[in-house]
C-alpha cells in the first residue's frame, strides 16, 4: 500500500464526525454543560431579586456568564477524552496537518456550545421575560462562541498535559477571553434593548477582529503547543 | 529501515539518551529491553515523531526527523500500553476513522481485512468500551496497521494483559512480522520477547549497551545475556 498524506478537509471532517458520533452515544459533554448552565440560570434567577427594569439590564451579562462557565466544562471534557485513553497521541501520529486536528476539535466544540445555547435560550427567555429569539442575538452568540472555542480549544490542548488541567484551563482562558466576553455582553445588551444592530457595530467589529486574530494564532502555534 | 546515530535527548538538565546508535533492517523484529528509566519509551516516542531529538540523526525509511515527520508518520504504526481508541465508537468506526486520517484507499475492504487479521470481525459493531483489555489491544494493533505501515513500534504492548490475551496478541504480532513489517518492541517480559523477536538490544543508561541475534543465543540464554549486560554497565558506570 502506497503511503499517503491525509487531506486537510477530510481529516478535519473525520474528527468532527468522530466527536459528534461519540457524544451522541455517551451524551457526557453536552449534558454536563446543560445541567451546569441551567443551574447557573436558576441561581442567578433567585439571587438577583430585582425589578423588571434592573433585571433587563443584567440579562446579557448573566447569559454570557452562563455560556462562559458551561463552555469551560465542555472544553475540559472534550480534550480530557482525547488524553485519557492516549487518543491525542493517536491523532498526532497521523500524517495530517496538525492544524486540521485543531480545526476539527474547534468546530466540534463550537457545535457543542451552539447546541447548549439552543437548549438554554428558551429557558432563559422564560425566566427573564425577554425575547431572545432574535436574529441579531444569534449573530452575537455565534461570534462570541466562535472566539471562545477558538481560544479555548488551543488553551485546553495545553492545559490537558498538566496534572491540574481542570483548574488550569479557566485560569489561562478567562483573562484571554475577557475582551471578547465584554464585547459580547455589550452587543447583546444593545440587541436585547431593541436598539438597531448598527448601535452595536463597534462591538461586533471587535468580536470579528478577535475571532480572526485568534484563528490565525491557533493555526500558527498549535503544532508547537502539542509538541513534547 | 531505521537508522539512528548519536541520538541525544534532554529534558531540562537531565540527559535521558546519550549518543544512542541503533539500526533496524526491513522485516526485522527488534526487542528493546532494559530496566525502568533506561530511556526505552523516550526513544520510541522520538521514533514515533511524538518527541523531538535534542541532537543526532534519526532516519526512518530514508526520511529524516524531525524535518520530514509527516512522511515518516505515513510509514509508521504505533501500539502502546494505552489503546489509543475511542470507547464510544465501534471497532469498525475506530478503524474507519483512523483509516480516513491516513487516507487509506479502498477503506471498507481494508477495515474488513484488518478486523479478520486481529480476530474481531464478529465484534465489529460493538462499542470498544465493552471490549476486554486483550480485545482492545488487538484492535489497537489493527489501528496501527490499518495503513499497512513499513514500521511498527510497540511500547510494552503486553502490559495489563492476562496469559490468554498475551498469547493471542503474540499470534497477531507474529502474523504482522511475517508480512515483512519492521517491528521494534520495548518489553520487560524477557520470556515473551524471546519467543517473538529476531534481535534483542539492551538499552541502559541512555545507550544500547549490547545487541544479539536470537539464533546466536542458547535456549534460555536471553536472561543470562541481559543480566550480564546490566552488570557490565553498572561496573563501567562505577569506574
Please give, one letter per residue, the 3-state secondary structure of A129-157.
CCCCCCHHHHHHHHHHHHHHHHHHHHHHH
Q: What's the grid cell of residue A142? A: 455565534
Cα A33 to Cα A68: distance, rounded to the nearest angstrom: 10
For A22, name the nearest residue in chain B, comparing CA atoms only.
B88
Contact A22 B88 (CB under 8 A): yes
Please name which of B205, B200, B199, B201 lies closest in space to residue B233, comparing C-alpha atoms: B205
- Give the per-residue SS3 of chain A: CCCCCCCHHHHHHHHHHHHHHHHHHHCHHHHHHHHHHHHHHHHHHHHCCCCHHHHHHHHHHHHHHHHHHHHHHHHHHHHHHHHHCCHHHHHHCCCCCHHHHHHHHHHHHHHHHHHHHHHHHHHHHHHHCCCCCCHHHHHHHHHHHHHHHHHHHHHHHHHCCCCCHHHHHHHHHHHHHHHHHHHHHHHHHHHHCCCCHHHHHHHHHHHHHHHHHHHHHHHHHHHHHHCC
Confidence at residue A6, expressed as pLDDT on a 0 to 100 scale: 66
Cα A90 to Cα B86: distance, rounded to the nearest angstrom: 10
Q: What pLDDT band is residue B115 in, cutting at 50, 70 and 90?
A: very high
For A15, name the nearest residue in chain B, comparing CA atoms only.
B97
Q: Which domain holds residue B141?
A: 2-238
CATH number of the domain encompassing residue B172: 3.40.50.300
How large is the ipTM? 0.87
Cα A84 to Cα A86: distance, rounded to the nearest angstrom: 6
- Considering only CB atoms, B84 lies closest to which of A14, A90, A97, namely A90
Q: DSSP H helical segments within chain B, as ranges?
A: 40-47, 69-73, 91-101, 107-117, 133-145, 163-178, 190-194, 221-238
**How many other C-beta atoms can be found within 10 angstroms of the C-beta atom of residue A54?**
10
3-state secondary structure of B213: strand
Q: Among B10, B81, B101, pick the best mutation site for testing chain A contact (most A Cβ within 10 A).
A: B101
User: Which chain A residues have a beta carbon less than 8 Å from that of B17?
Assistant: none
Residues 20-49 of B with CB under 8 A from A: 45, 48-49
* A224–chain B Cβ distance below 8 A for any pair: no
Structure confidence by residue, pLDDT tens digits, B47-85: 999 999 999 999 998 899 888 888 899 999 999 888 899
- Give phi and psi for B90, each to the nearest 5: -75, 170
Contact A94 B71 (CB under 8 A): no
Confidence at residue A51, expressed as pLDDT on a 0 to 100 scale: 66
User: Which chain A residues have a beta carbon less than 8 Å from that of B54?
Assistant: none
Cα B140 to Cα B83: distance, rounded to the nearest angstrom: 5
- Considering only CB atoms, A85 lies closest to which of B87, B148, B150, namely B87
* A27–chain B Cβ distance below 8 A for any pair: no
Strands B63-65, B55-60: pairing is antiparallel
Number of domains in chain B: 1
Please name which of A151, A146, A135 lies closest in space to residue A200, comparing C-alpha atoms: A135
Contact B147 A1 (CB under 8 A): yes
Structure confidence by residue, pLDDT tens digits, B169-219: 888 888 888 888 899 999 888 888 888 899 999 999 889 988 888 888 777
User: Which chain A residues have a beta carbon less than 8 Å from that of B110?
Assistant: 1
Residue B159 has pLDDT above 70, yes or no: yes
For B151, name the nearest residue in chain A, comparing CA atoms only.
A3
The overall average pLDDT reported for chain A is 88
**How many other C-beta atoms can be found within 10 angstroms of the C-beta atom of residue B131?**
19
Domain ranges of chain A: 8-226
- Considering only CB atoms, B52 lies closest to which of A87, A90, A227, namely A227
Q: What's the grid cell of residue A66? A: 452562563
Provide the number of CB pairs (under 8 Å) joining chain A to chain B. 100
* A3–chain B Cβ distance below 8 A for any pair: yes
Confidence at residue A81, expressed as pLDDT on a 0 to 100 scale: 85
Cα B212 to Cα A104: distance, rounded to the nearest angstrom: 46
Structure confidence by residue, pLDDT tens digits, A35-85: 998 898 888 887 776 666 667 678 889 899 999 999 999 998 888 888 887
Amino acid at each position: 500500500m502506497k503511503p499517503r498524506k491525509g487531506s486537510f478537509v477530510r481529516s478535519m471532517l473525520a474528527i468532527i464526525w468522530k466527536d459528534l458520533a461519540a457524544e451522541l452515544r455517551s451524551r457526557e459533554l453536552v449534558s454536563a454543560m446543560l445541567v451546569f448552565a441551567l443551574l447557573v440560570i436558576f441561581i442567578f434567577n433567585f439571587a438577583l431579586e430585582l425589578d423588571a427594569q434592573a433585571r433587563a439590564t443584567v440579562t446579557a451579562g448573566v447569559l454570557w456568564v452562563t455560556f462562559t462557565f458551561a463552555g469551560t466544562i465542555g472544553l475540559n471534557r472534550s480534550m480530557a477524552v482525547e488524553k485519557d485513553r492516549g487518543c491525542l497521541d493517536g491523532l498526532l501520529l497521523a500524517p495530517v496537518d496538525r492544524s486540521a486536528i485543531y480545526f476539527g476539535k474547534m468546530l466540534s466544540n463550537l457545535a457543542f456550545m451552539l447546541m447548549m445555547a439552543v437548549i438554554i435560550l428558551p429557558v432563559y427567555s422564560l425566566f427573564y421575560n425577554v425575547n431572545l429569539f432574535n436574529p441579531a442575538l444569534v449573530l452575537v452568540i455565534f461570534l462570541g462562541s466562535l472566539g471562545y472555542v477558538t481560544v479555548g480549544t488551543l488553551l485546553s490542548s495545553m492545559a490537558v498535559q498538566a496534572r491540574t488541567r481542570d483548574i488550569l484551563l479557566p485560569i489561562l482562558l478567562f483573562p484571554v477571553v475577557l475582551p471578547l466576553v465584554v464585547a459580547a455582553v455589550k452587543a447583546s445588551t444593545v440587541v436585547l434593548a431593541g436598539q438597531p444592530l448598527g448601535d452595536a457595530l463597534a462591538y461586533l467589529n471587535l468580536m470579528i477582529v478577535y475571532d480572526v486574530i485568534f484563528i490565525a494564532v491557533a493555526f500558527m502555534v498549535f503544532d508547537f503547543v502539542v509538541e513534547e | 529501515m531505521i537508522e539512528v546515530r548519536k541520538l541525544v535527548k534532554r529534558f531540562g538538565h537531565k540527559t535521558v539518551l546519550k549518543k544512542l546508535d541503533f539500526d533496524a533492517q526491513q522485516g526485522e523484529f527488534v526487542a528493546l529491553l532494559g530496566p525502568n528509566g533506561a530511556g526505552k519509551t523516550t526513544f520510541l516516542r522520538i521514533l514515533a515523531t511524538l518527541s523531538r531529538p535534542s541532537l543526532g540523526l534519526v532516519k526512518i525509511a530514508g526520511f529524516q526527523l524531525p524535518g520530514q515527520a509527516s512522511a515518516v508518520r505515513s510509514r509508521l504504526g504505533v501500539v502502546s500500553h494505552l489503546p489509543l481508541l475511542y470507547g464510544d465508537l465501534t471497532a469498525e468506526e475506530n478503524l474507519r476513522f483512523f483509516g480516513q486520517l491516513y487516507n487509506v484507499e479502498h477503506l471498507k475492504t481494508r477495515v474488513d481485512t484488518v478486523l479478520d487479521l486481529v480476530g474481531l470481525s464478529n465484534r465489529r459493531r460493538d462499542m470498544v468500551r465493552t471490549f476486554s483489555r486483550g480485545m482492545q489491544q488487538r484492535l489497537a494493533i489493527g489501528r496501527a496497521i490499518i495503513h499497512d505501515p513499513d514500521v511498527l513500534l510497540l511500547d510494552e504492548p503486553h502490559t495489563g494483559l492476562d496469559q490468554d490475551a498475551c498469547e493471542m496478541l503474540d499470534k497477531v504480532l507474529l502474523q504482522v512480522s511475517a508480512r515483512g513489517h519492521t517491528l521494534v518492541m520495548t518489553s520487560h517480559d524477557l520470556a515473551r520477547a524471546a519467543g517473538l523477536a529476531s534481535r534483542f538490544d539492551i538499552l541502559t543508561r541512555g545507550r544500547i549497551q549490547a545487541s544479539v541475534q536470537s539464533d546466536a543465543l542458547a535456549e534460555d540464554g536471553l536472561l543470562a545475556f541481559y543480566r550480564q549486560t546490566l552488570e557490565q554497565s553498572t561496573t563501567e558506570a562505577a569506574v
